[in-house]
Amino acid sequence: MKAVYAVRQRRWDAAASWLGLLALVLWEGSGLDLALTRTYGSQGGFAWRDAWLTRTLLHDGGRALAGAVLALWLAWALWPGRSTTQTQRLRWIGVALLCLLLVPTLKQFAASSCPWDLLEFGGRVANYVPHWKLGVHDGGPGHCFPSGHAVAAFAFFAIYFDRRECCPRTARWWLLGVSIAGVLFGWAQLARGAHFASHTLWSAWLCWVVCAAAAPLLAPRPAPRHTVSA
């Protein structure tokens, strides 16, 4: 039964990954990225850029929350008496850290600038260029794709993957909570002019794909069967 369940889970992971990619492609082709940002920004900039809700609570507070969750997760994994699952927990923590490092690394190579750098929104030098036009510079500082802040939530998809076999209901609640937190973090950065919506969506997809790819590699191996010779 466990083998059948594992196969179903992997099929679901793959289907979710491909459907997510399709949704991203459709979003990119819709042209809604700039239109949505215009609802929050103007030539005078972004009114929500330094608001308490978006900057202090959801940006600064979001980072603090991510650090606290990671620290508690590590403490729980290392708690005495959990030796049978300790290695598994630590491996998934490593996957979460990989997600937290992957997006900031990708940003270092991105030519896309943040919305608040665009001339249209009160910036000094940049013009809007879709980030999928690789190698085409917008004239700004770049290094703004994907959304690093959203990963402070989406990296914890790893907890869902870690817990779904032993505690499926808890895992589903984690998945819901992480998704809501990621959307809120992404909205805050959108309203502040720090990122386009697509930046957040790509961060979510990347974190999901990293976890889905790690799942079969980190799946518990069945104990070897020993035969008793007569």
In tens, the pLDDT along 38-97 reads 999 999 999 999 999 999 999 999 999 999 999 999 998 888 765 557 888 899 999 999
| Residue 33 forms part of a structural domain | yes
Q: How many CA atoms lie within 13 A of 210 on its CB side?
A: 26
Measured distance CA(17)–CA(25) in Å, rounded: 12
Range of the domain at 110: 12-218
| Residue 183 forms part of a structural domain | yes
| Residue 230 forms part of a structural domain | no
pTM: 0.90
Q: Give me the pLDDT at residue 220, please.
A: 65
In tens, the pLDDT along 159-218 reads 999 998 888 899 999 999 999 999 999 999 999 999 999 999 999 999 999 999 999 988
**Into how many domains does the chain fold?**
1
| Residue 157 forms part of a structural domain | yes
